[in-house]
Structure 1
Amino acid sequence: MEVSFFCGLLVVTMTIVSCSGDGECEEIMVPLCRGLVGYTHTRLPNRFNHTTQRRVYRIIEPYWPFIDNDCHKNFRLTLCGAFLPKCTPGNSTVELPCRETCFSAKRACSPKLKQGGLKWPNKYLKCKRFRRKKHGSCRKPVRKRLTPQPLRYGFCEQNTFSACANLSIQLRSLPNMFLQSDERIIQIEMDQYELLLQSRCHDNLPFLLCGIFAPFCPTVQQPYVLPCRETCDEVKSACQGAFRRLYRDLRWPAKLQCHRYPSGSSQFPCATPNDAVSLVQN
């Protein structure tokens, strides 16, 4: 017999029961889950009594690099599904991951987490507490290989991502700094910022997003160039307020934190919209 939570109340049960929550379904905005888990809406509070996606994002954000590194396809389904369970309008319950989904992710990802200085989050993802797939509705595991696909390396290729169509630098290199080379996944992540792009909070937002997710190739001698930190700082200063308004009060995403990118005064090359044209011509 195990202890778990039902709508924020301590109960004794054999499995975790889906909690209906108090609110209506709301659109998922957390960037490591949005558009990538097979459903679009959730209901809060969740079974940990988190009432906002901002709070959820803060807790699960440290695991983002391991999802990008693809320790297992079911890690995203388990992590997102536990914190932002599937909500279907008109249905009084939410759908959590299956026990099998959780265990397959734990087996494959625990060693990678340990290498990165983290542990499997048993406080939230104790797999035995999820119901088995044969016992009712739950998010079933993806039955694909346990070993990640190798990265695809492509340098100075035509940039085909939609937000990058009008930039001066039209060549990009992959994988990006997050070790992503799957163009479909990268496009889904970039599409998450469409609302922010439509807000026109800063003219250089497309340049920043494209340079982060698909680093620039200004010349063959410089095939992998990131945006300069100064450009990032300008965009963040202008856009983070709009981001919070448009994305359920979420904080500025980790991948767009400007300290990650080289300064124009450092020894490492970086690109700005002002020098993009000259870089292409070199």
Structure 2
Amino acid sequence: MFLQFFVAVVLAINGCYGDGACEEVMVPMCRGLVGYTHTRLPNRFGHTTQVQVYRAIERYWPFMDSDCHKNFRLTVCGTFLPKCSPGSNTTELPCRETCFSAKRGCSKKLKQGGSKWPNKQLKCNRFRRKRQGSCLKPVPRRLTPRPLRYAYCERNTFSVCENLSPPIRTLPNMFLQSDERLIEIEMNQYRPLLQTQCHENLQFLLCGTFAPFCQSDQQPFVQPCRETCEAVKTACLETFRGLYGGLPWPAKLQCHRYPSGGAQSLCAAPNDAESILQN
């Protein structure tokens, strides 16, 4: 038993979990946002698919978006989806310094959110130090998320929203995201789905979610109506699963998040957007 434990520790330290080929990172809270593009499974927790990884780390998504610390996303994603470089037999896990900085910055916010630092999964002293070899080093200053800013009724410059009417948006969105660079990266994850034209209102839903519409009265912003979301999800769900390795419909696009339309509606539908939104 001791020998098995010792071997497991050595494998974890040296990033030798996973015996499959490198595969593209598809999990949305990590894809395009962690500085590498490929991973290898199974990971140290025995997850063999990215669907399993998604389920395991989905609860940390809000803390990634609110940026409790610049290294939190890299620590979580790098632990569950270790970096894989084609042609290499090993994977890279976060450096010990990366993990400890994230823990110092996020433990308090996790506690405020009814959670706590997952010591069993993210035990920082299990990771190698930067000087001990290859590992995922702390996020460079140039990639640090920008502070939260408020921008009301500005022109929508996100490329996914090109030619969308109305062309005005407000930030932060309902996920407290205001860093346009990170929002752009996340929205671009859906380009393959948009190209399928699975539903005519998919662009409207995505843009109204990540860059909500501006309204002329005191309402901070207006989201798409729940009915629009449900129609898009029904039409696009199977296509989404096929394109993204069987992943579930993204938590950020779950339709219960959106208000329902009606006579006193505080939401926007494609056919009435021009009449209720500021141009």
Instruction: Name the TM-score class by shorter chain.
Output: over 0.9
Distance 1:102 1:48, change over 3 A: same
Report whether the alignment pairs 1:21 with 2:24.
no
Q: CA-atom RMSD, angstroms? A: 2.4
Of 99, 111, 119, which aligns to 2:96? 99
Does structure 2 conserve the Cα–Cα contact (< 8 Å) formed by 1:216 and 1:223? no
Of 33, 36, 54, which aligns to 1:39? 36
Of 230, 240, 248, which aligns to 1:233? 230
Does structure 1 conserve the Cα–Cα contact (< 8 Å) formed by 2:214 and 2:278? no
Shift of 1:219: 2.7
Deviations 1:52-90 (A, max 9, x none): 000000010100000101010100110000011111010
Of 33, 44, 48, which aligns to 2:45? 48
SS of the residue corresponding to residue 79 of structure 1 reads helix
Shift of 1:274: 0.9
Of 208, 232, 237, which aligns to 1:211? 208
Shift of 1:93: 0.3
How many angstroms apart in 2 are the aligned matches of 1:246 and 1:14? 32
Partner amino acid, structure 2, of 1:264: G
Report whether the alignment pairs 1:122 with 2:119.
yes
Shift of 1:96: 0.6
SS of the residue corresponding to residue 104 of structure 1 reads helix
Matches within 5 A, 1:158-177: 158-177=155-174
Matches within 5 A, 1:72-151: 72-142=69-139, 144=141, 150-151=147-148
Partner amino acid, structure 1, of 2:150: Y
Distance 1:247 1:3, change over 3 A: farther
SS of the residue corresponding to residue 11 of structure 1 reads helix
Distance 1:105 1:220, change over 3 A: same
Name the structure where helix makes up a greater proportion of residues: 2
Residue 197 of structure 1 is matched in structure 2 by 194
Distance 1:211 1:5, change over 3 A: farther
Distance 1:157 1:4, change over 3 A: farther
SS of the residue corresponding to residue 152 of structure 2 reads strand
The number of aligned residues is: 277
The more displaced of 212-221 and 78-87 is 212-221
Shift of 1:171: 0.6
Deviations 1:123-177 (A, max 9, x none): 21000100111111001113659x9854111101000111212222111000000
Distance 1:126 1:268, change over 3 A: farther
SS of the residue corresponding to residue 73 of structure 1 reads coil
Does structure 1 conserve the Cα–Cα contact (< 8 Å) formed by 2:147 and 2:179? no
SS of the residue corresponding to residue 154 of structure 2 reads strand
Structure 2, unpaired ranges of 5+: none
SS of the residue corresponding to residue 212 of structure 2 reads coil
SS of the residue corresponding to residue 121 of structure 2 reads coil
Partner amino acid, structure 2, of 1:89: P
Of 267, 271, 275, which aligns to 1:274? 271
How many angstroms apart in 1 are the aligned matches of 2:11 and 2:48? 25
Distance 1:266 1:185, change over 3 A: farther
How many angstroms apart in 1 are the aligned matches of 2:259 and 2:4? 46
TM-score between both structures, scaled by the size of structure 2:
0.93
Of 253, 256, 259, which aligns to 1:259? 256
The more displaced of 55-64 and 259-268 is 259-268
The more displaced of 109-118 and 12-21 is 12-21
Q: What is the percentage of aligned positions where both structures have the same residue?
A: 71
Does structure 1 conserve the Cα–Cα contact (< 8 Å) formed by 2:97 and 2:138? yes
Distance 1:96 1:120, change over 3 A: same
Distance 1:132 1:272, change over 3 A: same
Does structure 2 conserve the Cα–Cα contact (< 8 Å) formed by 1:54 and 1:251? yes
Structure 1, unpaired ranges of 5+: none
